Every structure is written in C-alpha cells, then in structure tokens.
Copies of this chain bind each other. A is one copy, B any other.
Amino acid sequence: MERTTLRRIRQRKADNKIYLCAPVNALVEGIYEQNIPFSEIKKHGDFGLGTFNDLDGEMMMFDGLIYRIGSDGKANQITDDEICTPFSCVTFFQPSSEDELAKELSYEEFLNWLKELMPSPNLFYAFRIEGEFEYVKTRSVPKQENYRPLVEVAKEQPTFEFNNVKGTMAGFYTAAYMSSLSVPGVHLHFITEDLTSGGHLLECRPRKVNVELQYLYTLELSLPSNLDYLTWDFQRDIGKDLDKAEK
C-alpha cells in the first residue's frame, strides 16, 4: 500500500489516544500470561510496542504490521492474530510534527533532542524514527517462567549490536508520575530496514534520521481480568525495578 494512502487511513482512525492492554506494573511483578490476543490490540492501534505471553520476544508494530524479535535478535512478522500479549502499548499513528536530524549525536544528546521536540513533559507521545544509525544496541529477553520478576529476567538479557545500520524505531514517552502504567521516559523498540533483526533499544548513535512525533492527549487503560492480576498484592517499587529492567 502506498505511504500516502496509509497516511489517509491513519488520519481517519487517529484520535491521539494511547492504549495500554494492562498496566506495566503487572509485567514488572512477573505476570507474563495475560492471554490478550493481538486481534484485540489491533482494535486500538496500528503502531506501538510490547511483548508476548511468557515474555517470549520483543513486539514492535508499525503500519499495522506486527513483528516479534526473538531472544536470538531475529525479527519475524506475526500474522496470527490469536497470538497473545501480557503488555502492549499502541496508538493509531498520525504524526503531529516531523523533524530531521542530519548529524551524529551521542545517545544522551539524542534523548535530549527528543525531549526538546516534546512541547510538555506531561503528555504522552508516540515516536516513529527512521534513518541511518552509526550504532544501535538492543536486547531481547528469552522466554520466561511466569511470576519471575522482570528485574531478575533483565539481568540475563542477550544484547545485540549493529554498526552503520538503517532501520526504524517505534515507541512512546510517558511522564514519570504514570510509571505504574507504562515505562516512564522514552521507550523505543528497533528493527532493521530489511526487517530481519532488532530489539528493545538500549543505546544508539543516530547519523541521519527523520522523527515523526504524535502528541497523545488521552490514555485508555484496560485492566486485566485474569486471576493473577485480580489477586496480586502490588507492593513492589515499580519505578526502581523498571529503571533497572528497561535500561
């Protein structure tokens, strides 16, 4: 489908709402089987990120297509809508602004540049970043037993490095005061231009990239109805654990 046609479809559907199929604190606690099929997720967005039941790979979605990046760093398109997720964050993507970066930046400079593009730290934003990177470092978690806290899992995560690579990043910004719901700060997943590998972004040095940024003014959060979630005693310091698990 042509990019302009795609954009028109997006425009029709977009209502600048971020959708979470579960609060991220459930994932941080180690509830990895929420059994929410992607057929449900697709009703709420064509763009975003997340994970799979049993934490089996990193999820990335753009232009309505879903990719799974396994613990070997390899990416595959997921076409079975009945595959399930315990945590996904999506939107119907329609950029509010578009910016170009034409010089190499360190990861810290890159994050600061993204922050400058956001008119307020207290909204949600979706980012679609495409272009050339001097360096990209990602991770993808291996399939897990249910109930093992995310911070434990992240200690053993396989990481992957890419040099001089073209690709796409998709993700969101969340304000710190909502860290029990979604990963706070800028949270991005990456896939190479040939759609063969990627993962959860740990670090990068962009060289020449295009950033599309969507301002999101509404949050829709679904609360899981499975027994694990309903009976859980949420006491963990989510903010601290997420900081360790996502960086």
Residues of A within 8 A of B (CB): 23, 25, 119-120, 122-124, 175-178, 180-181, 216-223, 225, 229-232, 234, 238
> Which of B23, B120, B124, B223 sits near A217, CB closer than 8 Å?
B223
B223 touches A123 (CB 8 A): yes
Tell me if B229 and A218 are in contact (CB < 8 A).
Answer: no
Contact A218–B221 (Cβ < 8 Å): yes
Contact A122-B176, Cβ < 8 Å, known A218-B221, A220-B219: no
A177 touches B238 (CB 8 A): yes
- Tell me if B230 and A222 are in contact (CB < 8 A): no
B219 close to A221 (CB less than 8 A) = yes
How far does the Cβ of A239 sit from chain B's closest Cβ, in whole Å?
Answer: 11
| A228 vs chain B, min Cβ distance (A) | 10
- Give the complex CA separation of A25 and B176 in angstroms: 12
Cα–Cα, bound, A124→B225 (Å): 12
5 tightest CB-CB pairs across the interface, nearest first? Answer: A120-B230, A219-B221, A177-B180, A177-B234, A217-B223
Question: Is the pair A124, B177 in contact by a Cβ cutoff of 8 Å?
Answer: no
| Contact (A123, B230) CB under 8 Å given A25-B177, A177-B25, A178-B180 | yes
Give chain B residues whose Cβ lies under 8 Å from the Cβ of A123.
223, 230
Q: In the assembled complex, how far is the CB of residue A22 from the closest CB belonging to chain B, in whole angstroms?
A: 11
Closest-by-CB residue of B relative to A220 is: B220
Nearest CB in chain B to that of A238: its residue? B177
- C-alpha spacing A230/B215, complex, angstroms: 12
A193→B75 CA distance, assembly (Å): 63
Contact A232:B180 (CB < 8 A) given known A217-B225, A223-B218: no
Q: Which residue of chain B has the shortest Cβ distance to A232 in the bound complex?
A: B122
Known contacts A218-B221, A223-B124, A234 near B175 by CB under 8 Å: yes
Beyond A218-B223, A221-B218, A222-B217, whether A120 also contacts B231 by CB under 8 A is yes
List, in ascending order, chain B residues with CB within 8 A of A119's CB. Answer: 230
Q: Roughly how many angstroms separate A124 CA and B221 CA in the complex, as a whole number? A: 11
Task: Evaluate contact between B232 and A223: CB separation under 8 angstroms.
Answer: no
Q: Which residue of B lies closest to A231 (CB)?
A: B120
Query: With a CB–CB cut-off of 8 A, which chain B residues contact A177?
Result: 23, 25, 180, 234, 238
Contacts A25-B177, A178-B180; A223 near B234 (Cβ below 8 A): no
Determine the chain B residues whose CB is within 8 A of the CB of A176 once the complex forms: 234
